[in-house]
């Protein structure tokens, strides 16, 4: 009889932000898949991050399946690198994406960026980040 050992690995359930920076903002609240930043007076704040896979306990996981292409979209502002890829065997996307918010007049004081896997929207929960400007 042949015997070998193996490890049980949790399946990814979320896209998450990894190795991020929130320039011009206070330390965030939330989890790596739902961040909220308070940023400078009357606008400002730039969010840059890699995208990773995580389990529901917020643990970063290695992509054991095929490459995953993630789409990033802003509610009002702009995103440079609107798609990033998490390759097989990697824990995060190979490139970062940068979100620059746009605050419409004084009535809108938050802007949001969302990372989604368009091929598996019901399998992997999207990651979101909200930047809030202080009036």
pLDDT given for residue 121 in this prediction: 67
- Residue 103 in tokens: 């605050």
pLDDT given for residue 103 in this prediction: 76
Q: At 49, phi and psi to the nearest 5? A: -160, 155
Cα distances (angstroms) measured from residue 23 to each of 51, 55, 75, 80, 120: 17, 27, 19, 15, 31
Return per-residue pLDDT of the chain as tens, 135 residues.
676 766 666 789 999 999 999 999 999 999 999 999 998 876 678 999 999 999 988 899 999 999 999 999 999 899 999 999 999 999 999 999 999 998 766 666 888 999 999 987 678 899 999 998 876
DSSP assignments along 31-55, one per residue:
ETTEEEEEEEETS--EEEEEEEEE-
Bridge partners, 35 (sequence order): 30, 129
pLDDT given for residue 109 in this prediction: 83
Largest CA distance in the chain: 72
Residue 32 CA, distance from chain mean position: 7
Q: At 111, phi and psi to the nearest 5? A: -140, 150
- Is the CB of residue 21 less than 8 Å from the CB of residue 49? yes
pLDDT given for residue 48 in this prediction: 96
pLDDT given for residue 56 in this prediction: 86
pLDDT given for residue 134 in this prediction: 74
């Amino acid at each position: 009889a042949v015997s070998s050992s193996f490890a049980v690995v949790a399946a990814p359930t979320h896209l998450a932000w990894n190795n991020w920076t929130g320039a011009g903002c206070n330390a965030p609240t939330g989890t790596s898949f739902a961040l909220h930043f308070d940023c400078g007076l009357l606008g400002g704040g730039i969010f840059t991050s890699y995208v990773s896979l995580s389990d529901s306990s917020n643990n970063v996981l290695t992509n054991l399946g095929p490459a995953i292409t993630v789409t990033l979209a802003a509610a009002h502002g702009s995103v440079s690198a609107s798609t990033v890829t998490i390759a097989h065997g990697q824990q995060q996307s190979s490139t970062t994406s940068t979100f620059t918010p746009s605050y419409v007049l004084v009535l809108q004081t938050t802007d949001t960026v969302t990372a989604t896997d368009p091929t598996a929207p019901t399998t992997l929960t999207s990651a979101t980040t909200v930047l809030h400007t202080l009036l």
